[in-house]
Amino acid sequence: MNRAPLIFLGIFFAIAFSWTGIILTNQISYGSLTPYVNADDGKAYPQSVPGDAARGKLVYQDLGCIYCHTQQVRQPGFGIDIERGWGERGSVARDYIRESRVFLGTMRTGPDLRNVGTRFAGQGGREWHIKHFYDPTITSAGSIMAPYRFLFETKAIIGDASPKAVQSLLPENHQPVAGSEIVLKQRGEDLIAYMLSLKDPELYPEEATKVYVPKAEPAKTEHGAHGAESNKEAAK
């Protein structure tokens, strides 16, 4: 009795089944989601990211930030991402459709970065990132994030000091020897541009009706603050 063909058929069926279900079905059902065009401003959301941020994403990829950071905000009621200020709403599939590579991530050694561009924005945000990448403990005492000092270079000042020198942002113990300065390499600039670009738009109308549950009443937050106070009280 040769049952090899039968076994083989079963083996084939098993994987074909999951491939059809998990991948093919979803590819068909939402694999061609399109951006939402807002009638008011005529823009398509999510918007595409500018070139330097796109290059910065490659730096994020090659340095492996994904092994400590996620880029997905959990829905209200599942975890407390929104209470933590990691986003106004949970992430939805449409948020990712412009990304040639999606970095959802699986690990939160560090905070979620999906909307980090709203927490650190503008010139102040840029300076925060410079300090943080140079040595994370400057901004966040006790951080175990890897330092990215190799995104900077220390070089002798020739002629005038560079307008892009960053050492003035750094504390005493990180100052270079006299006559030299610290500048951010292009890769570092790109990475920061990527960080500043990370924020999801307000909700698209379609998802609003389907997955979005309004945030808890503001009263809840006050309640929370009060709770924190009383915790401190208890600790004393």
The footprint of ligand HEC (CB under 6 A) covers 60, 63, 65, 67-69, 109-111, 113, 116, 119, 136, 140, 143-146, 148, 191, 195
Task: Determine the Cα–Cα distance for residues 175 and 113; give it in Å rounded to an integer.
Answer: 29
Site membership for other proteins, residue 88 (CB under 8 A): no
Q: Spell out the alpha helix ranges (H) of 112-204.
A: 116-119, 122-134, 136-139, 186-197
Return the bridge partners of 180, or none.
156
Positions 111 through 130 that interact with other proteins (CB under 8 A): 111
From ligand HEC, other proteins, none, which one binds at residue 116 (CB under 5 to 8 Å depending on kind)? ligand HEC
Taking CB under 8 A as the rule, which mask of x and - marks residues 128-157 in contact with other proteins?
A: --------x---xxxxxxxxxxx-------
Among 67, 154, 158, 215, binds other proteins (CB under 8 A): 67
Binder of other proteins out of 38, 52, 74, 118 (CB under 8 A):
74
Q: How far is the CB of 159 from ligand HEC (least distance, A)?
A: 32
> Minimum distance from CB of 88 to other proteins (Å)?
15
Distance (Å, rounded) from C-alpha 40 to C-alpha 9?
Answer: 56
- Asked if 75 touches other proteins (CB under 8 A), the answer is yes
Residue placing its CB nearer to other proteins in the complex, 107 or 161:
107
For 168, counting Cβ atoms within 10 Å of its Cβ (0-12 exposed, 13-18 middle, 19+ buried), the class is: exposed
Kindly report the number of other CB atoms within 10 A of residue 22's CB atom.
10
Burial category of 9 from C-beta neighbours within 10 Å (exposed 0-12, middle 13-18, buried 19 and up): exposed
